[in-house]
Amino acid sequence: METQILVTGGTGYIGSHTVVELIQAGYDPIILDNFSNSKRSVLEQIKKLTGKEPKLIEGDIRNEKVLDRVFQENKIEAVINFAGRKAVGESQVNPLLYFSINVEGSIVLLRKMKEYGIKRFVFSSSATVYGDPGYDCFTESTPLSPINNYGESKWMVEEVLRRLVQAEPDWKVAILRYFNPVGAHESGLIGEDPSGIPANLMPFVSQVAVGKREKLRIFGNDYPTRDGTGARDYIHVVDLALGHIAALEALNKNDGLITVNLGTGNNTTVLELVHAFEKASDKQIPYEIVERRPGDVAAYYTDPTLAKTLLNWEAQRDINKMCEDTWRWQQMNPQGYPED
Ligand code: NAD
Ligand code: UD1
């Protein structure tokens, strides 16, 4: 029988790509999602892609009754927890929402897992836990000092997991710190579908290219980087999804806690990304330089060594491929997923 993996937030951006890779690797993913930031039609797209529609339970990760049902009706062996909220600005305005969904949600889930004797957990953390340490290349031992409530919520869950594993060493936990996930599945069937005006660079650029937005505003060109614009370690979402499978497999071998950065080890400036997107789409991306965005860091990227040694994983897809796949998804789905 295929191994059943509970994927919370499995209809979201990273979750849906991971569900596809799980199915293709022979796992049986079971999705728990409340559709607060995703659409039901994702499931049909996953079916088109893999030939299999994963089982779905609709509900909130904080709802103990729903979790009882999930764990009673299935033989879950591990949980990947993508469910959560991720907008920095919103987290500053509504901290209670962030601590409730991201922190309380994870704790309720872990408590229920323990009740059912399930002790394998993969957690979506973020490079944002490092804050702005004053240098660009982050290893897993770079000190953590998040600078917003979203980052704090990730740090808190990490802390809970560190203490849990210390007290109960039979847990197997992977904390994965993502750098900047972008791109889409190369089929163009699933991708990122932000609601409203995208806060992040790649979806904004892509909407300018397709004519949905007039021009890109580049937040500052006086940073100490190659061309003065901010530099990031963009990682293709399919590489990221594969990183989760590698983490699940690593957990079979390691007891306790592993903490790993998932990025490429390269960095791309805003202007370099714009030019790569122009090449991929054969469109011009009009832009203007405006003030720096408050809270932005000049540059950061991962040291990918630990991911290679511990997970036997490294990112394969470069920035051109990230732009090509984003563009294919954007063209095939100019309005994103259809409304439910
Ligand atoms: P997303 O919003 O596309 O996916 C999150 C999914 O969780 C959505 O389908 C949403 O409906 C669901 N969800 C939200 N709250 C829920 C709840 N209380 N109960 C059940 N389901 C709920 O986001 P994503 O980009 O796929 O991110 C997935 C995870 O990775 C998040 O935890 C996010 O913080 C983390 N992360 C994302 C990024 C990024 O840039 N995308 C970077 C670092 C870390
Ligand atoms: C943002 C979040 C971070 C999250 C990350 C990954 C903030 C402050 N940080 O980081 O917590 O983990 O996304 O999804 O929101 N840019 C423009 N114009 C735009 C948009 C972005 O010039 O319209 C620039 C930014 O200044 C930055 C780069 O593009 O230099 C990348 O921005 P973005 O995609 O928002 O990611 P991060 O800032 O790394």
Structure tokens at 117: 């004797």
Q: What is the DSSP letter of 292?
A: P
Q: Does residue 45's CB lie within 6 angstroms of at least one atom of ligand 1? A: no
Query: Which positions are catalytic?
Result: 150
Query: What integer pLDDT is reported at residue 340 of this predicted model?
Result: 75
Say if CB 258 and CB 173 are below 8 A apart: yes
Residue 83 in contact with ligand 1 by CB distance below 6 A: yes
Report the alpha-carbon distance of residue 35 to residue 199 in Å, rounded. Answer: 20
CATH of domain 4-183+233-265: 3.40.50.720
Q: What is the reported pLDDT for 32?
A: 98
Compute, in angstroms, the gap from residue 219 CA to the centroid of ligand 2.
Answer: 9
Give the C-alpha separation, 247 to 174, whole Å: 7
Residue to mutate (ligand 2; options 150, 201, 262, 301; most atoms within 8 A of CB)? 201
**Domain chopping of the chain, boundaries:** 4-183+233-265
Q: What is the pLDDT of residue 101?
A: 98
**Among the residues of 119-189, which ranges form H helices?**
149-167
Q: Residues near 296 by Cβ (< 8 Å), separated by ≥ 6?
A: 219, 220, 230
Which segments in the chain show pLDDT lower than 70?
none
- Give the pLDDT of residue 83: 98
Q: How far is CA 241 from CA 13, 238, 315, in A?
A: 10, 5, 10
What is the reported pLDDT for 253? 86
Convert the pLDDT of each residue in 169-185 to its tens digit: 999 999 999 999 999 99
pLDDT at 295: 87
